[in-house]
Structure 1
Amino acid sequence: MLLPLVILSTIVTISPLLGLLGTVRGMIIAFNVIGVAGVGEAGALAGGIAEALYTTAFGLSIAIP
């Protein structure tokens, strides 16, 4: 009976960290696009920023009760 609670607690603890990892990855992609395509390519830049925001929101939505 205690094992499912431990697993749930682990998931809730790790989720924000995975969201933060996704944020860092998304920002790396965004800065890479800036380096390759230049600052004027807003459409290409938006993909990395969107990925960063989605992973942050998903991680927080799991962790917040």
Structure 2
Amino acid sequence: QLEARYRRPDVLSLQQAACQAVGVSKCISFKKIGDGNYNKAYHLNMEDGQKIIAKVPNHNADPRALTTAS
């Protein structure tokens, strides 16, 4: 059952979105730092030295209107 619910994260798209959000062209490191009931957290280091925390809601985090897009 767990395997059927698993969704592989689109790491490349997350990195591209983070780069666009902070105005850089490259993410130099990407690390998963947490996995909660409602979201997954990632730590990204950008080429200019910025450090970003990105949270991606799990597909089971409902209702969507009450989830935080971080």
Q: TM-score, normalised by structure 2?
A: 0.28
- Which structure ranks higher in relative contact order (CA pairs < 8 Å, sequence separation ≥ 6)? 1
Q: TM-score, normalised by structure 1?
A: 0.29
Greater fraction of residues in helix = 1
Greater fraction of residues in strand = 2
